[in-house]
Amino acid sequence: MEMNQFSLEGKIALITGASYGIGFAIASAYAKAGATICFNDMKQELVDKGIASYQELGIKAYGYVCDVTNEDMVTEMIAKIEQEVGVIDILVNNAGIIKRIPMCEMTAADFRQVIDVDLNAPFILSKAVIPSMIKKGHGKIINICSLMSELGRETVSAYAAAKGGLKMLTKNICSEYGASNIQCNGIGPGYIATPQTEPLRVKGNPFNDFIIAKTPAGRWGTPEDLMGPAVFLASDASNFVNGHVLYVDGGILAYIGKQPE
Ligand code: NAP
Ligand code: GCO
């Protein structure tokens, strides 16, 4: 086995919502593996902040303002990337939101917004890049799923519905485009310390201790924990891995949880 199977030299990657958080970590890992990085955010100020953060790591990243739920903006962004950088080899559907509201108190508009960002947008982005990947003869699509692709919990009905759907969209892209040498896989992060989970980690929140007791690793994950798995799924090393969700969760899905003392 050639070790350069894990190299991303010469590849162009688009990671959505990657000014910070998990997306930023994945994009940074891809750059270290040799890829050219493109990312987007909804606000120019965050795109600029993201570009500066990448520069601090010595990475020249191409940043674009784009709301991933807006198909016209996505079409424009992909065209710009193809013109300014080149055809996208790797798409990471990372941009996502969560609304933690008891289901019966959640408005349909709130539910729809989560589905729009976490499920409809990966469909829109994937549909936008697949034709060029087919022409190029290869492509990698990585959907950032969740433990909530498998499990539910109180207050996250919209998010779990979206992430469960994203798991099945992953399997369907595999089924429909595997013959075109496109591999579509998911990454299911466990509980990761990012702005999205900040409310769960505040001092004294019992959920913090709950997660640590439920995780064999005995800790919250970090965005850096996702770097290696993300490089693997973007590289030639995973060319025969398709339609799979790789859970990077410290073992939480396998474990009933520590007995309370
Ligand atoms: P985060 O810190 O909240 O970052 C989310 C990113 O997505 C932000 O850059 C945000 O931009 C962007 N975004 C949101 N809506 C967007 C839209 N409509 N168009 C473009 N960009 C948009 O989240 P994270 O923790 O890094 O999570 C990243 C992904 O991992 C999400 O899909 C999340 O569901 C998933 N995930 C997270 C965890 C975890 O424990 N953290 C675990 C499993 C899965 P703005 O700053 O402009 O809003
Ligand atoms: C929550 C958390 C989780 C994590 C992640 C777990 O409120 O339960 O936000 O949903 O973000 O998705 O994999």
Residue 2's pLDDT band (boundaries 50, 70, 90)? low
Residue 17 Cα to ligand 1 midpoint, Å, equals 6
Render pLDDT for 56-72 as a digit per residue (tens, 0 to 9).
999 999 999 999 999 99
Give the atom of ligand 2 at the shortest distance from the alpha carbon of 146: 13
Residue 87: the pLDDT is: 98
Closest CA relative to residue 200, chosen from 147, 241, 149: 147
Ligand 2 in reach of 189 Cβ (< 6 A): yes
- Using CA positions, which residue lies closest to atom 9 of ligand 1? 17
Render pLDDT for 194-239 as a digit per residue (tens, 0 to 9).
999 999 998 889 999 999 999 999 999 999 999 999 999 999 999 9
Ligand 1 in reach of 221 Cβ (< 6 A): no
Render pLDDT for 123-180 as a digit per residue (tens, 0 to 9).
999 999 999 999 999 999 999 999 999 999 999 999 999 999 999 999 999 999 999 9
Q: How far is CA 6 from the centre of its chain?
A: 19
Ligand 2 in reach of 147 Cβ (< 6 A): yes
8-192+223-253: CATH topology: Rossmann fold (3.40.50)
Residue 245: the pLDDT is: 98
Residue 126: the pLDDT is: 98
Where in the chain are the domains?
A: 8-192+223-253
Which of 98, 155, 207 should be mutated for ligand 2, with most atoms under 8 A from CB? 98
So which residues are the catalytic ones?
159
Angle in degrees, 0-180, between the axes of helices 121-136 and 71-84, rounded to the nearest 10? 30
Half-sphere exposure of 167 (CA within 13 A, CB side): 18
SS (HEC) of 167-186: HHHHHHHHHHHHHHCEEEEE
Residues 128, 124: Cα–Cα separation, whole Å: 6
Predicted TM-score (pTM) of the model is: 0.98
Q: Token match 């299911």: residue?
A: 188
Residue 43 · residue 67 · CB < 8 Å: no
Render pLDDT for 67-91 as a digit per residue (tens, 0 to 9).
999 999 999 999 999 999 999 999 9
Give the whole-number percent of the chain exceeding pLDDT 90. 96
pLDDT at 1 over 70: no
State mean pLDDT over 45-55: 98
Give the atom of ligand 2 at the shortest distance from the alpha carbon of 197: 9
Name the 3-class secondary structure at 62.
strand
User: Residues near 96 by Cβ (< 8 Å), separated by ≥ 6?
Assistant: 17, 117, 118, 144, 196
Residue 122 · residue 169 · CB < 8 Å: yes
CA angle, corner 92, sides to 176 and 62, nearest 5? Answer: 130
Render pLDDT for 87-105 as a digit per residue (tens, 0 to 9).
999 999 999 999 999 999 9
Residues 136, 117: Cα–Cα separation, whole Å: 28
